[in-house]
């Protein structure tokens, strides 16, 4: 399909969001299952439930445009998910893994917020104020999810992940000190 009008751009954004949300809906339960923190696991599960509703909203908006669903996955989100998988595979279970999960989820949330914001702006320019309201609702939900993740990171998970490094450093220093004293 050739993109020649703002409506075409708008439809393309909605398709990209739909496919991104579907990819995320498949990935969030996996991420939640890997979380060590019960609060992080709950936040990811809640966002998964929200994502299912967001998919339905996008389906409605695409139907209103008489746009059939497209099966083309979002390349941006696919790349973010692949990057997340690599990072998560390298992280040991515990707070470090939780910190990596938060970072991965936030990268995706920020992409979603940018894309929903663009779609909302297009809908507004096209005079589709019902779509503006729906897209703003989803944008607010994505912002809330990002805020929850930030609070989890800043109120303990990142600090606890850093404490692992501090403990390792302390053990190493104690070992060096013991070695030096035995000379």
Cβ atoms of 128 and 65 within 8 Å: the answer is no
Q: What Rg, from alpha-carbon coordinates, does the chain have?
A: 21
58-107 tens-digit pLDDT? 999 999 999 987 877 778 999 999 999 998 888 877 888 999 999 999 99
Q: Is residue 180 over pLDDT 60?
A: no
pLDDT tens-digit readout, 138-164: 999 999 999 999 999 988 788 877 655
**Number of H helices and number of E strands within the chain?**
6, 0
Largest CA distance in the chain: 81
CB 14 within 8 A of CB 116: no
């Amino acid at each position: 399909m050739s993109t020649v009008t703002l409506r075409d751009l708008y439809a393309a954004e909605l398709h990209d969001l739909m496919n991104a949300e579907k990819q995320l809906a498949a990935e969030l339960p996996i991420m939640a299952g890997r979380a060590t923190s019960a609060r992080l696991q709950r936040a990811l599960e809640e966002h998964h439930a929200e994502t299912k509703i967001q998919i339905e909203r996008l389906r409605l908006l695409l139907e209103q445009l008489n746009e059939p669903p497209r099966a083309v996955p979002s390349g941006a989100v696919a790349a973010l998910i692949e990057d997340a998988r690599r990072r998560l595979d390298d992280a040991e279970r515990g707070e470090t893994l939780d910190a990596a999960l938060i970072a991965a989820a936030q990268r995706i949330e920020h992409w979603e917020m940018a894309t929903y914001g663009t779609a909302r702006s297009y809908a507004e320019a096209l005079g589709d104020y019902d779509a503006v309201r729906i897209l703003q609702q989803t944008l607010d939900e994505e912002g809330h999810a990002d805020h929850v993740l930030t609070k989890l990171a800043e109120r303990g998970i990142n600090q606890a992940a850093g404490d692992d490094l501090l403990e390792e450093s302390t053990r190493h220093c104690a070992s060096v000190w013991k070695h030096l004293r035995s000379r």
